Amino acid sequence: MTRSNAPEALLVLPHLRVQNANAISSPLTHGFPSITAFTGHMWALQRKLVAAHIPIKLDAVGVVCHHHEEQVTDGYVKTFRLTRNPLDSSGQSAAIAEEGRMHLDVTLLFLATPHANNGVSAPWPLNQEAQFGEWAAQIGEVVARMRIAGGSVLPTRPKPGRRTRPWMALLPEDHDEKTRAFARWRRQWLPGYALVGRDDLLTDRLRTLSNEESGATLLDAWLHAARFNHQPVSEGDAQETSSKKLRWADPARQKGGGWTVPIPVGYAALREPHPAGSVANARDASTPFVFVESVYSFGEWISLHRLSGVHELMWRPETDPATGLYRCRSGYVFNDSALSRTDTENLEFD
């Protein structure tokens, strides 16, 4: 398929209220849906756009969280609030399957290009503003009937001073104009935090662990960075024992280090794909089936005012059938990191 030469457009679904979304993002993490849930929503939405004859191709997705409420009990040890299932056919209580649920207020952003017809790239329509408004309204109606991360989309109430209806606009091609446009748009998404990728944190933590003990792996670095590692830290003059004070802290989590979190970023195949229809009870009998396990990395929740461009908060899915790796790549690059793209290619593990 020929790539369109038309400039990218930004599709924004502001302040979506999602009820009972899946809070368990992987076998090892919880607290927010996986980024793969939002890329999966993007693909499902793409299929519905094709069925509705809306000539838009969605290429990347960004997530801005304004509010989240995980359904857990209060206390020192938190547990999920589980639902009581109906009685089974014998009249007995059905087994309780643990499920994590949470309520969300999120803004979803999509980078879009014109959908090519018969392999021929197409430009955006001439009456862009009117056509974009019509498409955004149609897409809003489509999303209202879909699920996001397993949760139901509730109607968004109009609020004074807040843009709650879907909208769409072209990204300026000039760099300075694009920066000014993003600075104007991001004010609509505040207060809110965007989830971005921080693969460089794994390298930094692995380097630190390797200096302390030999044989440290990426898994060790991920587990070490995913928890609080409190140890006594001295304060005052080390030469004067009487004036030296001790406090418990995590040396690797310094003040101003950011709101970093362990996240799943995709899946790794465990073996070659099975032919379509050869695996019993598969959801889709017309698509090859492959068993996978989660791939983990690190992310950071960052306020929108700290970002300079819309591409920094976007995630793009990448598929490599040769290696069996299916993962999402973030467009965010940490300014103080000396890592290049080639350095971070293998910063994931399963």
Instruction: Quote the pTM value.
Output: 0.84
Contact 22, 147 (CB under 8 A): no
Measured in whole angstroms, how far is the alpha carbon of residue 328 from the centre of its chain? 8
- Helix spans in 218-327 (H): 218-225
Task: Give the residue with greater pLDDT, 19 vs 243.
Answer: 19
Span of 7-21, 111-125, 129-143, 320-334 with lowest mean pLDDT: 111-125
pLDDT at 220 over 50: yes
219: nearest Cα among 120, 165, 295 = 295
pLDDT of residue 107: 94
pLDDT of residue 348: 54
pLDDT of residue 103: 93
Q: Which structure tokens are listed for 253?
A: 């989590």
pLDDT at 5 over 90: no
Task: Give the residue with greater pLDDT, 83 vs 238.
Answer: 83
In the chain, what percentage of residues exceed pLDDT 90? Answer: 39
CA–CA separation, 68 vs 107, rounded Å?
A: 12
Stretch 1-25: mean pLDDT, rounded? 83
Cα first-last separation, the chain? 32
202: nearest Cα among 189, 221, 184 = 221
Task: Give the residue with greater pLDDT, 124 vs 12.
Answer: 12
pLDDT at 158 over 90: no
